[in-house]
Amino acid sequence: MKLSLVIPCYNEEANIQPMYDLCCDVLSEAIPSFEMIFVNDGSTDGTWTALKALYEQDRRRVRLVDLSRNFGKEAAMYAGLQRATGDYVTIIDGDRQQHPSVVLQMVRFLEANPDYDCVAAYQDNRKEGAFTRLCKKGFYKLINAACETTFRADASDFRTFRQGMVQSILSMKEYHRFSKGLFSYVGYQVHYLPYTVQERVAGKTSWSFRKLCKYALEGIASFTTFPLKIATVVGSIMSLLSLLYMIVVVIQKLFFGIAISGYATIVVLILLIGGLQMIMLGIIGSYVARIYIQGKHRPVYIAREYLSGDPEEE
Ligand code: UDP
Ligand code: MG
């Protein structure tokens, strides 16, 4: 049995060697054959130098992919998954926040349960502000209501797949890769495993609240089309209301002789309708933009270098 660890790294210079040591300590006895595929996602610090040093140290187990710039964690994971050859493939962060002992648990579970194809870890003790938690809850409610696949709150990218499921994930060639969605879209039997996130010891997180919001919108636009239907709903309601109002105005005019009400009402209505139309155009625009980008068929990432320990492959 062979295990591949896919490890996306962005500015993790100080974490590379400790991460390698930790994985070897925990895994090498239980799983004799495992490889570590580090993907350097355009780091601006010494991550690549640290990785190359590691590669010289252990060519048998370490493989490196160097992306030509920062393409984001989604692209980095994709680059790693494409090169993973193990029967089991694990995605794990390079910052030591996810402990390799959980990987062992995942692999053991898959070995003991042939009916399952994936083990996904979720955080059982999330340390977040109340506001962020509320937003996340709202996001999962919304996306689960709008989407045919179910998204489990708190489930992370920290997962172990069987190779077959990896192939299914890779078969989806879209440019905007929203992994949480792709993982649940392909289906298969997934087991959820609670785990405790370790504190970050070195480097810093690349997530801010703004980035989280962007990520959430990305997910909604990638996996649902309900925003496009808002126009139909709002339009129908407004048409109905204006029909009722028309009847009121006609009755007022015919039976009570009251003149049509004035300037202010008209201006407010024009502005309101104009605003709503702009919002709808913006929503349609964001979907058109996706079609445009996808239509160019650009690669999800560009690899500058690949060190696989096998001169022919490189
Ligand atoms: N990461 C990456 N590319 C990016 C941002 C992050 O490959 O553009 C990697 C990062 O090095 C880490 C993992 O993705 O290994 C998770 O990132 P981070 O620790 O910032 O996220 P958090 O743990 O705070 O959710
Ligand atoms: Mg982290």
What are 24-65's pLDDT values in tens digits?
988 888 888 889 999 999 999 889 999 989 998 888 889 999
Sign of CA dihedral 157, 5, 182, 161: negative
Q: Is the CB of 205 under 6 A from ligand 1?
A: yes
**Cβ proximity of 74 and 105 under 8 Å:** no
**What type of residue sits at position 131?**
F
pLDDT above 90: residue 256? no
Q: Residues of the chain with pLDDT > 70: what percent?
A: 97
Kindly report the number of other CB atoms within 10 A of residue 272's CB atom.
Answer: 11
Kindly report the number of other CB atoms within 10 A of residue 205's CB atom.
Answer: 9
Q: Is the CB of 74 under 6 A from ligand 1?
A: no
Question: CA-based diameter of the chain, in Å?
Answer: 94
Nearest residue by C-alpha to atom 12 in ligand 1:
93
Residue 198: predicted pLDDT: 79
Q: Is the CB of 70 under 6 A from ligand 1?
A: yes
User: Mean pLDDT over all residues of the chain?
Assistant: 87
Average pLDDT over residues 297-311: 83
Ligand nearest to the CA of 205: 1
Who wins on pLDDT, 253 or 278?
278
pLDDT above 80: residue 290? yes
Q: Which tens digit of pLDDT belongs to each residue from 151-173?
A: 887 788 899 999 999 999 999 88
Q: How far is the CA of 113 from the centre of ligand 2 (A)?
A: 29
**Cβ proximity of 214 and 222 under 8 Å:** no
Residue 222: predicted pLDDT: 83
Q: Which tens digit of pLDDT belongs to each residue from 185-195?
A: 888 889 998 88
Q: Which tens digit of pLDDT belongs to each residue from 196-244?
A: 887 777 777 777 788 888 888 888 888 888 888 888 898 899 889 988 9
Instruction: Report the DSSP pairing between strands 303-307 and 62-67.
Output: antiparallel
d(CA 142, CA 97): 29
Average pLDDT over residues 126-154: 82
Residue 311: predicted pLDDT: 59
Q: Is the CB of 72 under 6 A from ligand 1?
A: yes
Nearest residue by C-alpha to atom 3 in ligand 1:
73
Residue 159: predicted pLDDT: 93
Q: Is the CB of 12 under 6 A from ligand 1?
A: yes
pLDDT above 80: residue 2? yes
Q: Residues of the chain with pLDDT > 90: what percent?
A: 31
Band (148; pLDDT cuts 50, 70, 90): confident
Q: What is the DSSP letter of 44?
A: S
Residue 166: predicted pLDDT: 94
Three-state SS for 192? strand
Q: Is the CB of 209 under 6 A from ligand 1?
A: no
Who wins on pLDDT, 75 or 313?
75
Who wins on pLDDT, 128 or 300?
300
